[in-house]
Amino acid sequence: MSEDCLYLNVFAPDSAHNKTVMVWIHGGGFISGSTVLYDGSILAARHDVIVVSIAYRLGIFGFLSANGSLLPGNYGLHDQVLALQFIKDNIQGFGGNPDNVVLFGQSAGAISVGYHLISPLSRHLFRRAILQSGNPLVPLMLTGRNTQTMAANDVIRDLCPLLVTNETQEVTEAGVSCLRRANASLLTDSFFKVFYSRLGSFAPIEDNDFFGEHPQELVDKKQFFDTKEILIGTDVEEGASFASYGPLGKFRRSDRIDANFTRQTLVQTFNETLPPEMRPFIEAVLDYMLSDVENTSDPKEVWKRYVEIVGDVVFVCSDLQFINQYSASNQTVFYYRFRPKPKFQALGPKWATGAVHSEEVAFVFGMPVVVQKMYTLREIALSEALMTVWTRFAKTGNPNDAWLPYSQSQPLYMSFDVDSSHMTQGFPGFKCDDYYAETMAKVREFARSGQRLIPPGLPRKLVARFVIICGILVSWENQLLMSSILFTEPLVDAPEAESWAATKTAEHKR
C-alpha cells in the first residue's frame, strides 16, 4: 500500500485550443474512490471539452484531525485546492481555457464542489459548478473538533496504548510521532476500527482556514464569493441503495418485504443501533415522518416511506435548503431529477423502480454510448442528451433553452427520463420543512459532541456492511462499467446508434 496518490488525468480533444475545462471530483464518502474509474475521453472527444479528473487523500490520510495545531485536518480538501490551482496555472498547455474551469462531482465529490463554492481558498479557481447528489449542507459529512479529537485519540490508543489516558485530551507530539511511525496498512486497519463507531469521524471539519465558519452559517449569510451558475440535482430513489445495504436491508429481498417490517421494526432497529441519548429524539422524528402513512403496520407502505426518508433527509432536503439560499442571492440555479432505472444496474437493489444513488454518472460519462449491449437505444439517447446538456452548461452557463432556472417563487426542475425529459413544477422533497431544519441542527450538535453512534456491543459486521458498502457504492459501479467496456460488443452498429441518439437529443433539447 502506498500513500502516493496525488495525480490528475487530462482528457483533451485533438487540436484543443482555449477549450472549456470540466474538472471531475469523485465520490465515495471521503473514504474510497479513484480517478481511474472515470474515463473522460468520451465527453472530451464528442463534446469538444477538456475533462480533468483529480485525486485527493481519503479516510485517515485525508481527514485525520484534532484539537490544537498538530493535526489541522482537511488535507483532502487542500489536495483538491492544489489540483485546481495547478489546473488554473497549467491547463493552457493542454489547450484549455483557465478562465472557464467548471467543477462537477457526485456524492462526496458534489459535496466537495459545494464546499469550494463557499471556501475563500477556492473562489478564484473556477467559474461554475455541477453538483450530482450532493451539496455543502449534506448532514453528517462535516463535524466538529471534539469528534475528530476523540477519533484521533482512538487511533493513537490502538497503535500506542500508553500515550492516551483520556479520549478528550489534546493530541500530543508523542501521539503524532506514533502515527508517523506507523505504515499505511496499520493506519488503515486502525482507521476502520474507529470509523465504525465514531459518528462523522475522518471527514471534513469546520476550520478557520478552508471554511472560516461552518458551511451552514456561510450559506445562511449567502456567502458565495463569486457569481456562479450551478446545475444541481438528485436521482429519484436516492435512498434505495442505502436502505438496502443498511441494518434494515434484511427485511427486503427482491420483490418480497418481510411481513414483520412495520413502524415498530423501524423504531426497534434504530434503538438497537443508536446510543440511548438519541433514541427518544429519533422515535419522535419517525412518528413525524410516518404521520401521513395510513397503515403503519403495512410493510409495503412503511418500506416505501423509509426509502423516501433516507433519500430526502440526506440529499433532497439539504438540496432545497442550499438552492433556496443560493437562488435568493441573485445566482442562477438549474435543478434536475434523474428518473430511469437502466437495463444495466450494477449494484442498485433489484426492487428499485427508478434511478438509485450514482445512477446518472454512467450516463454523464457516456458509458451507454460505448457499452451499447448493456443499454437500450433510448438509454443511449438519454446519455447523449445528458452529455450535451452538461457540456453546454459548462461552456455557456445555460444547459438548454427549455430548461428554466429554479427559484423559491417558481420551484421548477428538469425531469430526465428515457421517454421524455420535461420541466416540472414543485420541489420533489418529502417534508423538507422547518421541522427538517430543526432536526438536522440537533443531529449536527450530536455529531459535534463526539459521542459514539454505534454502541460498543453492536456486531461490527452489521455496521461495516452499511458504512463501507454505502461509501464505495459509486466506485464499484463505475469499476464494473469501465471493466465491461473491454469485453462487450456493440448492440447495434455505431452509425445507427448515433442516428437514433441524434434524433432523441434534438427531442430532449426541445
Give the catalytic positions in this structure: 107, 238, 357
According to DSSP H, which parts of 312-433 are helical?
317-328, 359-364, 367-370, 377-396
Cβ(76)–Cβ(142) under 8 Å?
no
* Cα–Cα distances in angstroms (integers) from residue 234 to residues 237, 340, 381, 456, in the given order: 8, 12, 20, 34
Q: Which of the 8 DSSP states describes residue 455? A: -
Distance, CA of 99 to CA of 141 (rounded, Å): 30
What residue type is assigned to position 309 of the chain? I
Buried b (16+ CB within 10 A) or exposed e, 485-497: eeeeeebeeeeeb
* Cα–Cα distances in angstroms (integers) from residue 357 to residues 21, 52, 61, 221, 505, in the given order: 26, 23, 26, 30, 24
Cβ(406)–Cβ(334) under 8 Å?
yes
Half-sphere exposure of 116 (CA within 13 A, CB side): 37
Which stretch of DSSP H or E encloses residue 301? helix 299-311
According to DSSP H, which parts of 162-214 are helical?
173-181, 184-195
Distance, CA of 357 to CA of 138 (rounded, Å): 14
The residue to which cell 423504531 is assigned: 267
Cell readout for 287 is 412518528
Exposed, middle or buried: residue 483 (CB in 10 Å: 0-12, 13-18, 19+)?
A: exposed
* Cα–Cα distances in angstroms (integers) from residue 157 to residues 52, 150, 162, in the given order: 40, 10, 7
Distance, CA of 23 to CA of 90 (rounded, Å): 13
Cell readout for 159 is 497503535
- The contacts of residue 207 (CB under 8 Å, 6+ apart) are 72, 73, 74
What residue type is assigned to position 101 of the chain? V
What residue type is assigned to position 477 of the chain? E
Cβ(1)–Cβ(184) under 8 Å?
yes
For the chain, what percentages of helix, strand and coil (3-state, to nearest 5) are there?
Answer: 50, 10, 40
> Residue 166, Cβ neighbours under 10 Å: how many?
8
What residue type is assigned to position 298 of the chain? D
Distance, CA of 394 to CA of 205 (rounded, Å): 29
Cβ(429)–Cβ(309) under 8 Å?
no
Exposed, middle or buried: residue 447 (CB in 10 Å: 0-12, 13-18, 19+)?
A: buried
